[in-house]
Chain A
Amino acid sequence: MKHVITAALICAAGPALANGEEVTIRGEVIDTWCYFSGVMGGPDAVQGTAHHTCAIWCSAGGIPVGLLGEDGTVYMILSINGDDQNASGQTQLELASHDITASGRLFARDGLNYLVIDEVVEDHGITNTNHTDFGVVPGFAIPNPEG
């Protein structure tokens, strides 16, 4: 798809350590359940502007958020800037669908990647404008303004 915005750049990668591998990654903050489960369609439809409202709902609802890198790797976010409220927390809620560059520590466990974000180096805003391809997902996310 043309609207690939989630450029992931591992700019610095130190050796794997017990306290994690130091990394800097660029990607989109996503709602992992919709992405992993396919409950609302394919992975390209459950990110970006098309899925922004649902991403807010899911983040507020306590579904884990992740960072989706350019190569499609998902990093489950464990904390952001020292905020350990990774279930319904305000810091992650405000970053829903945002394209960010983050530095932190990467862990791998039983097939999943986990990321402790020590610093959001740059918030690029919401850059994946895929509503032009998918509309809004789910279709009822935007209520009819005329009631």
Chain B
Amino acid sequence: MWKYLISLALLATPATAQEGPFSEGSEARSWNLAWEEPARFEATVVDMLCEVAGDCANECATGRQLGLLRAADGVLTYPNKNNQGIFTGAAVDLEPYCGMEVEVDGLMIEDEYVGATNVYLVQRIRAAGEEEWVTANRWTDAWEVQFPEAAAEEGRWYRNDPRVLAEIEGEGYLGTGESWQEAWEITR
């Protein structure tokens, strides 16, 4: 029954995004999230592990999370999500700009109840001084290069990713060892 209540709660989510301190000029697309704020700002792309903990030996290397050090106030924002609606983060999209000054546009999440502040969904990026925006949707392109055989299969990446499939094979869809059939039946 809960899954139906959750669905109803999602439908009841307000469709109009709230304005925030960096909303001016934003053309961000709403995701109909309760605590989203359009946010467009200038920032420096930084390596999170280096910026927060001083671990800079592999600064900006592939596979490390990247942040946005906002120019206006020096606040470190954490891009958790890129523009693709398929369980994908933002590091791949930001990596070409690591160490550079950029302008970004997207949605800021500010929800005190769950401790979310300065959490960002980046939708488009451009290097300082550039005219053209780049949409933050590179993740699946990079995945296809890394896993060409899986990419050739039918279906979304997350249904074919060999690492995901290995985890599900090992622990099941619920993570507690049930077979596929059992997991299906007990969650209906």
Contacts and interface: CB of A to CB of B under 8 A. Distances in A.
Interface of A: 18-20, 32-33, 35-43, 45, 49-50, 52-54, 56-58, 60-64, 72-74, 76, 78-79, 84-90, 93-94, 96-97, 105, 107, 109-114, 116, 126, 129, 131, 133-137, 139, 141-145
A103 B52 CA distance: 17
Interface stretch (B19-27, B73-81, B126-134): B73-81
Contact of A33 (B76, B80, B186): B80
B184 A144 contact: yes
Contacts of A73: 115
A19 B175 contact: no
A53 B53 contact: no
Contacts, number: 203
A94 B167 contact: yes
A41 B6 CA distance: 6
Interface of B: 2-3, 6-7, 9-10, 13, 31, 33-36, 48-49, 51-55, 58, 61, 63-66, 75-78, 80-81, 86-92, 109, 111, 113-119, 121, 139, 157-159, 161, 163-164, 167-168, 171, 173-176, 180-181, 183-184, 186-188
B175 A84 contact: no
A52 B174 contact: yes
7 contacts: A42-B9, A86-B49, A109-B52, A112-B76, A114-B53, A134-B3, A135-B188
